[in-house]
Amino acid sequence: MALARIRGIRISGIASAVPDQAHFPSEFFDRFGKEEVLKIVENTGVQKRYIAPPGMCASDLCVAAADRLLTEGKWERESIDAVIFLSQSPDYELPFSAATIQRRLRLPNECAAFDVNLGCSGYVYGLWLAGSLISGAGMRRVLLLMGDTSTKVSEEDRSVALLFGDAGTSTIVEKTDKKERFTFVLGTDGKGEQSLIIPAGRCRKPTDETTRVRREAENGNHRSEEELYMNGAEIFAFSLAEVPKMVRQVLVASEKTVETIDFFVLHQANKFILEYLAKRMKIHGDKVPISLDEYGNTSSASIPVTMTHCLRDQLSRKKMDLLFGGFGVGYSWGAVTCTVGEIVMPEMIFLSLRDMDKKDAQ
């Protein structure tokens, strides 16, 4: 267990954006059969998702969220010391997407910018990185962008085809004189490498004419080696083994209890996992907000998306003690306890290609 405590930072604003195109499980009735689709919906809890059309990237969603947040919060763009883009869906192999984002957001050239490749645990890791830059490197304001377009999977693979949604988010982390503490617990187990993976398309196994071909896999699913494979049983076993332990560790380290935490905002893996974990950890269901019914599993963006969807009214008005917990691909996991509230939180943004074209024309 990696343990870190950071003082003198605060979350000052959160914004979330999704594509404006909503999709529903019924679209798969003809492909998988109505009974099978409804069974998947019952297990995952995903009743609706927003999917990016061709030409819309995770960075576009993050830029839309950041633009709205900076404008509503009246933050000067020159005040941003660093921008972190945390995603598994970069625009290009190179250059890194944060450089393009810096230009598009009109941030100063003195702004540090870099990408981080992380998924399900990413929001906690991103807060830890942003807090470390402020507490240890003298920066004052960091723009943390989190998002993925995870729906680019095989529509012939029932294990993933109805699960993921696309989203991008923006969080302002800044220096404060108050002594409230962020307590982090982080962990990694690389043995999970093969359980959630896109096997081909990069340096380990470069793309070629064979890696792009869809072939029949387990249970009649079809995918290519350049499309996501998920071993649901292994992911579930990992989650049950590590997440309750992670939550207990961060509560002890921060001297909190299940009763003193207002909300446990967890990565939106699927409904069954979230409900099982809440029961296992003896957390009342009302303390575990769920957004995946509306947005699906949005990977690295799922925690801020859940806050925007479920907690926006409360977080705009008052401070609350929260626990964020992310877990999944890698395997990796991370949790943090912190006090958040009285922050800038715009309503959910629904981004269209037309909105993007108008922005680019300005």
Q: Which residues are catalytic?
A: 120, 267, 297
Report cis status (omega within 30 of 0) of the bond before 95: yes
Q: How many CB atoms lie within 10 A of CB 177?
A: 6
The residues near 87 (Cβ < 8 Å, ≥ 6 apart) are 58, 59, 62, 97, 115, 116, 117, 122, 145, 146, 147, 148, 300
- C-alpha span between 194 and 204 (Å, rounded): 13
- C-alpha span between 304 and 123 (Å, rounded): 8
The residues near 28 (Cβ < 8 Å, ≥ 6 apart) are 37, 155, 161, 162
What burial letters (b/e) apply to 238-249, b meaning 16+ CB within 10 Å?
bbeebbbbbbeb
- C-alpha span between 322 and 343 (Å, rounded): 14
